[in-house]
Structure 1
Amino acid sequence: MEHLFLNVLNVVLPVLICAAVGYGLAVTKAPFDNKVIGGIVSRVGYPTLIISHLSTTRLEIGTFLDMVAAAVLAVAGFGVLGYAALRVLRLPVRAFLTPLMHGNVGNIGLPVTLLALGDAGMAYTMAFVVVVLVSIFTIGMWIPAGTVSVRKLATSPIIYAVVIALALMATGYTLPKPIEKSFDILGGLSIPLMLLTLGHTLAILKPRSLGRAFTLTALHLTFAAAIASALVWLFGFTGVERGALILCCLMPSSVATYLFIDQHVPEYGPDVAGFILISTLATILVLPVALAYWI
C-alpha cells in the first residue's frame, strides 16, 4: 500500500510543484501577465500541441472520436446536473453553471494523464481538452454574458488545429520535419505555462463564502463520479481509455471560467473564485485515491 501511494504521489507532486512555482511568482509580485500568457497558450500552445501530439500518436481516429463523443456527453451531463442543482439551491445560473460545467483538463488533466498513463493517456485527454476548450470559449462565455457569438467559434485556432490533426491521423501523412520539430517546441510550452498560470491565478483570486465553495465542490465531485461511471459503461472503455476518462471527469473547476464571471457578473466573482480554489485543493486528496483504487 505504501508503495502504491508513493507512485501516486510521484504523479501528482510534479504538477503541484510546478503550480506552486506560479503561486510563488504571484506572492513575490514577480512580473507575470496572465492575459499575455493565456493568449500565447490558446493561440499558439494548444493548437501546436494538438497537431504535434495527435499527428504522431498511434491512435485510431475512430477511438479518438469516441473519446470526443464521451467528452461532449460529459460536459453536457455536468451542464444538465449543474443547472438542476443550481435551481434547487437557488443560485444564479449565469454565475455558477459555467464553472460547474468545465473541468481544468488543460492545466491539470494533461500533465496528470501524461505522468500516470503515458503518451496514449495524454492523447485521449487531448480529446477532452479540445471539447472543453471549445465549450469554454463558446457556451462558457455565452452563459454569463447572456449572448451568443458564433464568430468566436469560427475564429478559434483550436478548431482548425483539430481539423488538421484529424486529417493527418486519417491519412497517415506527417508534417515536414522542420514544421514538426517547430510544433513540438511550441506545443511543449503549453503544459509548464498552464501550470504556472494555474498557481499564479489561484494566488490572486479573492475567495468569499467558502461554505458555498465546499458545497459546490462536493456537488461537482458527485456529478463527476456519476458521469464517469455512466460513460465508462456506455462506451465500454477499458485500460488507458477508462483511466483517462475518469481522470478528466474528476478535474476541478477550470480557472479560465473565472475571467468570464468576473467580466459579466462581477458581484459573484469572489464566490466563483472560492469554488475554483476549494475544488482545486480537493484534487490533492481526490486524485491519489482515484489513481490508487479506481484506475
Structure 2
Amino acid sequence: MEHLFLNVFNVILPVLICAGVGYALAVTKAPFDNKVIGGIVSKVGYPTLIISHLSATRIDVGAFLDMMLASAAAIAAFGVLGFGVLRVLRLPVRAFLTPMMHGNVGNIGLPITLLALGNAGMAYTMAFVVVVLVSIFTVGMWIPAGSFSPRRVVTSPVIWAVIVALGLLATGTHLPEPVEKSFDILGGLSIPLMLLTLGHTLATLRTGSLWRAVVLTGVHVVMAVVVASALVWAFGFTGVERGALILCCLMPVSVATYLFIDQNVPEYAPDVAGFILVSTLATIVVLPLALSYWI
C-alpha cells in the first residue's frame, strides 16, 4: 500500500507544483493573460496533443471503439447524476456541471494506467481521453456559455484533430517524423499552461469556496464508484479493460474544464478552481485504495 501511495503521489506532485507556480505568479502580480492562454490551449495545444498521442497508440480498433462508447456513457451518467446533485445543493449548473462530468484522464489518467496496467491499459485510457476532450469542447463548452452553436462544432480544431487521429489509428498510418515531433512539442503546451492558469486563479480562492469544494469532491467520488460499477457490469469488461474504465471514472476533475468557466461565468471561477484542486488532492488517497481493493 505504501508503494502505491508513493507512486500515485509522484504522479500528482508535478501537477501541484505547476499549479503552485501559477499561484506564485498571481501573488507576485506577474503579467498573465488567461484569454490568450485559453486560446492557445484550445486551438493549438489540445488538437496537437490528441493527434500526437493517438498516432502512437497500438490497439485493436474494435476494442478502442468499445471503450469510447463506454466513455461516452460514463460522461452522460456523470452529467445526469451531477445535474441532480447540483439542483439539490442549489449550485449553478452552468458553473459546476461541466467539471462534474469530465475527469482528468489526460495528464493524470494516462500515467496512472500505464503504471498500474501497462501499455494496454494506457491505450484504453487514450480512448477515454479522446471522448472526454470531444465532450469538453462541445457539451462542456455549451453548458457554461448557455447556448448551443453548431458552427463551433464544425470549426473546432479539437473535433478535426479527433477525426484525423482516428483515421491514422484505423489505417495504421504514421505522421512524417518532423510533423510528429512538432506535434509532440506543441501538444506538450496544453497541460502546463492550464495548470498555470488554475494556480493563478487559486490565489483568489475564498474559505467558503474550499468547503464547497470538499463537499463536491466527496460527491464526485461516490458518483464515480456508482458509474464505474454500473458500466463494468453493462459492458461486461474484464481484465485490463475493466481496470482502465474504473481508473478513468475515478479521475479527479479535469483542468481543461476550467477554461470555459473562466470565460463564461468568471464569478464562479475561483470556486471551480478550488473544486479541481481538492479533487486532485483526494486522488492521492482514492487511487491507491482502488488499486488495492477493487482492481
**Could you tell me the TM-score, scaled by structure 1's length?**
0.84
Alignment of 1:11-50 (within 5 A): 11-50=11-50
- The Cα offsets for residues 169-192 of structure 1, whole Å up to 9 and x where unpaired, read as 212222222222322332333444
CA RMSD of aligned residues (A): 2.9
CA positional deviation for 1:117: 4.4
Alpha carbons 1:255, 1:276 under 8 Å: kept: yes
Tell me the distance in 1 between the aligned counterparts of 2:223 and 2:27: 34
Alignment of 1:1-295 (within 5 A): 1-206=1-206, 208-266=208-266, 268-295=268-295
Gaps of 5+ in 2: none
The secondary structure found in structure 2 opposite 1:91 is coil
- The answer to which of 207-216 and 261-270 deviates more is 261-270
CA positional deviation for 1:271: 4.0
The secondary structure found in structure 2 opposite 1:95 is helix
Tell me the distance in 2 between the aligned counterparts of 1:252 and 1:26: 24
Tell me the distance in 2 between the aligned counterparts of 1:80 and 1:63: 26
- Counterpart residue type for residue 45 of structure 1: G
- The Cα offsets for residues 189-214 of structure 1, whole Å up to 9 and x where unpaired, read as 34444444444443454563444333
Tell me the distance in 1 between the aligned counterparts of 2:273 and 2:3: 35
Tell me the distance in 1 between the aligned counterparts of 2:23 and 2:257: 19
For residues 161 and 85 of structure 1, do their structure 2 counterparts lie closer, same or farther at Cα, with a shift above 3 Å needed?
Answer: same
For residues 141 and 57 of structure 1, do their structure 2 counterparts lie closer, same or farther at Cα, with a shift above 3 Å needed?
Answer: closer
- The answer to which of 244-253 and 66-75 deviates more is 244-253
- Counterpart residue type for residue 130 of structure 2: V
Alpha carbons 1:98, 1:140 under 8 Å: kept: yes
CA positional deviation for 1:7: 3.5
- Counterpart residue type for residue 172 of structure 2: G
The secondary structure found in structure 2 opposite 1:253 is coil
Tell me the distance in 2 between the aligned counterparts of 1:108 and 1:287: 11
For residues 34 and 291 of structure 1, do their structure 2 counterparts lie closer, same or farther at Cα, with a shift above 3 Å needed?
Answer: farther
- The Cα offsets for residues 49-92 of structure 1, whole Å up to 9 and x where unpaired, read as 22222122211111111121111111100111112223333433
CA positional deviation for 1:162: 1.4
For residues 27 and 139 of structure 1, do their structure 2 counterparts lie closer, same or farther at Cα, with a shift above 3 Å needed?
Answer: same
Tell me the distance in 1 between the aligned counterparts of 2:268 and 2:185: 39
For residues 96 and 51 of structure 1, do their structure 2 counterparts lie closer, same or farther at Cα, with a shift above 3 Å needed?
Answer: closer
CA positional deviation for 1:148: 1.1
- The answer to which of 76-85 and 202-211 deviates more is 202-211
- Counterpart residue type for residue 108 of structure 2: I
Tell me the distance in 2 between the aligned counterparts of 1:256 and 1:290: 24
The secondary structure found in structure 2 opposite 1:53 is helix
The secondary structure found in structure 1 opposite 2:224 is helix
Tell me the distance in 2 between the aligned counterparts of 1:168 and 1:228: 29
- Counting matched residue pairs gives 295
CA positional deviation for 1:228: 1.2
Alpha carbons 1:130, 1:158 under 8 Å: kept: no
Tell me the distance in 1 between the aligned counterparts of 2:70 and 2:157: 22
- The answer to which of 95-104 and 251-260 deviates more is 251-260
- The Cα offsets for residues 249-289 of structure 1, whole Å up to 9 and x where unpaired, read as 12223344345445544554454444333323322322333
Alpha carbons 2:195, 2:255 under 8 Å: kept: no
- The Cα offsets for residues 199-240 of structure 1, whole Å up to 9 and x where unpaired, read as 444345456344433322221111111111222222233444
Tell me the distance in 1 between the aligned counterparts of 2:163 and 2:156: 12
- Counterpart residue type for residue 102 of structure 1: H
For residues 3 and 175 of structure 1, do their structure 2 counterparts lie closer, same or farther at Cα, with a shift above 3 Å needed?
Answer: closer
